Amino acid sequence: MSLTIGAPAPDFSLSATGGRTVSRDSLKGKPFVLYFYPRADTPGCTKEACAFQTGLPDFAKLDATIIGVSKDSMKALEKFAEKYSLAFPLASDPDAKVIEAYGAWQEKSLYGRQYMGIERSTVLVDSQGKIAKLWPKVKVTGHAEEVLQAIQAL
């Protein structure tokens, strides 16, 4: 990840599930979490999304917004959100511009083949709009709880 703790969060504005638009400017004054995941409705991504959904009341108590970001189409994201009753926004970044700006667009390797793709990673932005914490190469189990603890510590 090319981001630095304490640096201003890169600007973004993306279409999201439920007819929403999510942007850095609309979230000013409260903490938010951008978590980047490879593909909706795959096992790891589903487990991660459901963990954030389960923790949503705790995040809400801290006035923190959770936003999932992938290259998936809005249609795929709406279907995923509906299937698992995900109330937080899932944002579509088909050109990977925001994914790249937040350092989640990485070279990956599968069966010896190199390709570019989304590294499962999370960024916590504080209420001042600055990067507060980075989680590169996220392991899904226990991650939502870790993020919650980091927000509580702000």
Q: Which domains does the chain have, with CATH numbers?
A: 13-152 (3.40.30.10)
Q: What local confidence, expressed as pLDDT, does residue 13 receive?
A: 98
Q: Phi and psi (nearest 5°) for 121?
A: -150, 160
Enumerate residues 6+ apart whose C-beta is below 8 A from 121. Answer: 1, 35, 36, 102, 103, 104, 134, 135, 136, 137, 138
**Rounded CA separation 63/56 (Å):** 10
Q: Is the pLDDT of residue 1 over 80?
A: no
Mean per-residue pLDDT over the chain, rounded: 96
**Rounded CA separation 42/80 (Å):** 10
Is 50 known to be catalytic?
Answer: no
Q: What local confidence, expressed as pLDDT, does residue 32 receive?
A: 98
From the list 45, 81, 118, 144, the catalytic residue is 45
Give 9-48 pLDDT, tens digit per residue: 999 999 999 999 999 999 999 999 999 999 999 999 999 9
